């Protein structure tokens, strides 16, 4: 299988996983929200947000692990790949111990008036906090195993693990709904068990399928230092993303209490499902982007990076355009009882997610190049300023929606700055981004949005919603084909279609 068709095959696998996870996730959120109630669900999300403020380290290490493993695979040296993998495992273990120790120390002060939690739920909240710290420790140590599977492009197995995790969470939600005692407590404890199962599946698969690469020994000093230094700069980019999302949980809680956390949590979960649409494209192409650099093919690396952002944006738009227009009705169908501000939060976060997707592929191109210092500093600074600005906005008495608008503005500026910074530190031409991506996505998406809006406004009803959605998708597909793809991209798409063998 050639590299292009392999990437497409991996994308299809990821989309099957995506569809199943989204469907299961929607049922899970509705069941668990109704089972816990707005206050308990808000408490769980709030504590999860606090732990998540530091879990960005795991995410940055994940990107570093995949970068070094994929690039080393591109060179063809199994021994070098083993050294990289071992360095990643030891680095993750060290960070997990330090991070979780810090979280336990901070936890001694969080529940003495800092968090806005009802007094009768504080004892349970403390137990939940310890459970999440343990879960974080397991997740951090599973990261190099997951990165190894992705670097070898075994997306079929990764999808299987992900779907299994979603099914277990659904079963847990059903169990909690019928549980007679403290639902929030049992939910938190069993979520840790699911995390341990997820780790075990990756651990045994890596040992079975990649024994030469996954064999453990003491890390090679030079390799360990290189991976650690790269992870340190990658940390900034991931930190800005996590702070902007998880930090808002704490900020909104301080100003408006735990009820607003329910609305923000639902919105973030909806955004997460939407983001996974584009991630199915980018993550399936990411190993090829990194391996292209390892093989010395920089032009292919940049081309794949732009393609990942562009195709991911179009795939995301198939869902987000109807969703943005029909949000109130769809949330009512999904949740029945929709927390206040959920509609506005969801729309704003989805817009930010769409803008971020346009330049997501450029992040991996920069990681492949390896010159990430100024890329991380500049882009992250532009994004992280959102949280203090939102705090000032709320101090002046503005609504929760105003804080999220600030987030969208900063996210847009930070995301688009990736193309500018990459052009300054590498051979990438910024004109390629504006010509091959931005100029070709605006018209199809804008036209599809207005057609869908006009059709949807004619009448109400579930059947008409489906009709308007079909019209929107059809319009988007047609306009993307006519004006959204280059001739080379059209030829690539056509080459993937099955054709009959000619007989003589």
- 309-341: pLDDT as tens digits: 888 888 888 888 999 999 988 888 877 778 888
- Structural domain contains residue 118: yes
Angstrom distances, CA of residue 309 to CA of 282, 327, 329: 7, 25, 30
Is residue 116 one of the residues assigned to a domain? yes
Residue 431 has pLDDT above 90, yes or no: no
Residue 274 CA to residue 180 CA, distance in Å, equals 34
Each as own residue / partner, the long-range contacts of residues 451-456 (CB below 8 Å, 24 or more positions apart, any chain) are: 451/475, 452/321, 452/322, 452/325, 453/325, 456/325, 456/326
Q: What is the average per-residue pLDDT within 84-112?
A: 84
The pLDDT > 70 percentage for the chain reads 85
CA 302 to centroid of chain Cα atoms: 22
- pLDDT one-digit tens code per residue, 442-496: 889 998 899 888 998 888 888 888 898 899 889 888 988 888 887 777 876 776 5
What does the pLDDT read at residue 503?
Answer: 42
Is there a domain that residue 343 lies in? yes
Dist CA 415 CA 360 (whole Å) = 8
Mean pLDDT for all residues in the chain: 81
40-54, 130-144, 193-207, 332-346: range with highest mean pLDDT: 193-207
Output the 3-class SS for 404-449: HHHHHHHHHHHHHHHHHHHHHHCCCCHHHHHHHHHHHHHHHHHHHH
- Pick the residue with more confidence: 90 or 63? 90
Q: What is the mean pLDDT of residues 214-231?
A: 72
**Per the domain annotation, does 453 fall within a domain?**
no
Share of the chain above pLDDT 90, in %: 9
Provide mean pLDDT across the span 408-422. 89
Domain count, the chain: 1
Residue 52 pLDDT > 60 = no
**Mean pLDDT, rounded, for 365-385:** 81
More confident residue, 134 or 117: 134
**Residue 407 in this model has a pLDDT that exceeds 70:** yes
pLDDT value at 381 more than 80: yes
Of 321, 334, 317, which is closest to residue 267 (Cα–Cα)?
A: 334
Question: How does residue 502 score in pLDDT terms, banded at 50, 70 and 90?
Answer: very low
438 part of a folded domain: no
Rg (CA), the chain: 23
The label of the residue with tokens 């990756």 reads 202
Question: Which residues are within 8 A (CB) of 260 and not within 5 positions of it... i.e. 6 or more apart?
Answer: 42, 252, 253, 339, 340, 341, 400
Would residue 198 count as lying in a domain?
yes
Is 70 exceeded by the pLDDT of residue 33?
Answer: yes
**Which long-range contacts link 175-178 to residues 24+ away (Cβ below 8 Å)?**
176/31, 176/32, 176/35, 176/36, 177/31, 177/32, 177/34, 177/35
Distance of alpha carbon 172 from alpha carbon 91, whole angstroms = 32
pLDDT tops 80 at residue 160 = yes
C-alpha distance from residue 307 to each of 1, 225, 303 (Å): 20, 33, 6
The lowest-confidence range among 90-99, 134-143, 327-336, 366-375 is 366-375
Give 269 or 407, the one with higher predicted confidence.
Answer: 407
What is the span of the domain harbouring residue 44?
3-428
Band the pLDDT of 347: cuts 50, 70, 90. Answer: very high
Q: Indicate whether 359 belongs to any domain.
A: yes
């Amino acid at each position: 299988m050639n590299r292009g068709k392999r990437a497409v095959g991996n994308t299809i696998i990821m989309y099957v996983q995506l569809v199943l996870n989204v469907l299961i996730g929607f049922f899970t959120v509705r069941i668990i929200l109704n089972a816990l109630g707005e206050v308990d669900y808000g408490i769980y999300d709030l504590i999860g947000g606090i732990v998540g403020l530091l879990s960005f380290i795991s995410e940055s290490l994940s990107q570093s692990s995949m970068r070094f493993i994929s690039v080393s695979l591109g060179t063809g040296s199994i021994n070098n790949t083993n050294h990289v993998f071992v360095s990643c495992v030891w680095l993750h273990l060290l960070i997990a111990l330090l991070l979780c120790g810090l979280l336990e120390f901070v936890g001694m002060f969080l529940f003495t008036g800092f968090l806005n939690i009802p007094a009768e739920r504080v004892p349970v909240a403390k137990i939940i906090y310890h459970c999440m710290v343990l879960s974080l420790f397991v997740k951090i140590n599973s990261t190099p195993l997951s990165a190894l599977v992705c670097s070898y492009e075994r997306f079929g197995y990764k999808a299987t693990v992900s779907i299994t995790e979603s099914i277990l969470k659904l079963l847990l939600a059903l169990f909690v709904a019928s549980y007679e005692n403290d639902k929030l407590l049992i939910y938190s404890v069993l979520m840790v068990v699911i995390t341990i199962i997820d780790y075990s599946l990756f651990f045994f698969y890596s040992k079975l399928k990649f024994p030469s690469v996954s064999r453990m020994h003491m890390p090679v000093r030079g390799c360990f230092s290189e991976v650690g230094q790269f992870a340190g700069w990658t940390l900034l980019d991931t930190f800005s993303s996590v702070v902007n999302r998880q930090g808002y949980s704490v900020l909104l809680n301080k100003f408006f209490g735990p009820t607003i956390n329910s609305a923000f949590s639902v919105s973030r979960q909806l955004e997460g499902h939407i983001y996974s649409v584009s991630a199915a494209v980018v993550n399936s192409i990411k190993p090829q982007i990194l391996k292209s650099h390892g093989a010395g093919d920089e032009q292919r690396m940049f081309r794949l990076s732009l393609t990942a952002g562009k195709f991911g944006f179009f795939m995301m738009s198939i869902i987000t355009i109807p969703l943005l227009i029909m949000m109130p009705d769809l949330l009512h169908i999904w949740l029945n009882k929709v927390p206040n501000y959920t509609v506005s939060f969801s729309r704003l976060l989805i817009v930010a997610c769409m803008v971020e997707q346009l330049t997501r592929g450029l992040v991996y191109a920069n990681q492949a190049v390896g010159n990430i210092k100024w890329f991380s500093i500049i882009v992250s600074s532009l994004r992280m300023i959102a949280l203090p600005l939102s705090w000032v906005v709320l101090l002046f008495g503005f609504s929760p929606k105003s804080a999220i608008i600030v987030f969208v503005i900063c996210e847009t500026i930070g995301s688009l700055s990736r193309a500018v910074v990459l052009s300054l530190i590498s051979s990438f031409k910024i004109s390629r981004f504006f010509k091959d991506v931005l100029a070709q996505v605006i018209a199809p998406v804008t036209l599809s949005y207005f057609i869908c809006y006009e059709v949807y406004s004619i009448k109400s009803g579930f059947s008409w919603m489906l009709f308007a959605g079909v019209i929107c998708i059809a319009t988007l597909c047609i306009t993307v084909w006519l004006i959204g793809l280059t001739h080379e991209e059209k030829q690539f798409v056509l080459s993937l279609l099955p054709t009959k063998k000619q007989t003589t």
